[in-house]
Amino acid sequence: MTTASIPDPEGRTTVARAITLIRSASLSDVAEYAYAATAPPESRLIFLAGACPLNGDGSTAAPGDYAGQAVKAIENMRTALADSGASLEDVISTRVLVASARREDLVAAWQVVRDAFGDHDVPSTLMGVTVLGYDGQLVEIEAVAAVLD
């Protein structure tokens, strides 16, 4: 189990998550993510390998399409998280790698990642890199998650 069920004062069950997102009033509010996150000592950390935009047969999904590859990488990340007993809501930080020097390519991948996380806007780093490991690969997403067992 990635969460603990806790009844609130009115008897409704709520879900306790392991992580706390931290915002800073001293820093710009332009960033679309929290500036820090914490996990309590009793949480189990999950370190994911970079989620790549690979299809089941090992081919690279969405050739030439930054957003399409980000969608596939998020899909593969969700699977790895589920296999680890976690979900996107348990992610504590991400690093998004995009094989491009063009800001618009980085933004295309970032928008997919940002939309996938929604209100769970974890601390993130977006980086342009020279090349990634698989043939035709344009996007890779690293993540760390924390769960309460």
What 3 state SS string does 34-72 have?
A: CCEEECCCCCEEEEEEEECCECCCCCECCCCCHHHHHHH
What separation in angstroms does the CA of 97 have from each of 49, 120, 126, 140? 12, 20, 6, 5
- In this prediction, residue 3 carries a pLDDT of 40
Domains of the chain, first to last: 4-147 (3.30.1330.40)
Structure tokens at 149: 């067992």
What percentage of the chain exceeds 90 in pLDDT? Answer: 74
% pLDDT > 70, the chain: 89
pTM score of the predicted model: 0.86
Provide the token pair at 44.
Answer: 């189990």
3-7, 31-35, 99-103, 105-109: range with lowest mean pLDDT: 3-7
**pLDDT, tens digit, for every residue of 25-36?**
888 888 778 889
pLDDT at residue 5 greater than cutoff 70: no
Q: Is 85 left (phi over 0), alpha (psi -120 to 50) or beta?
A: left
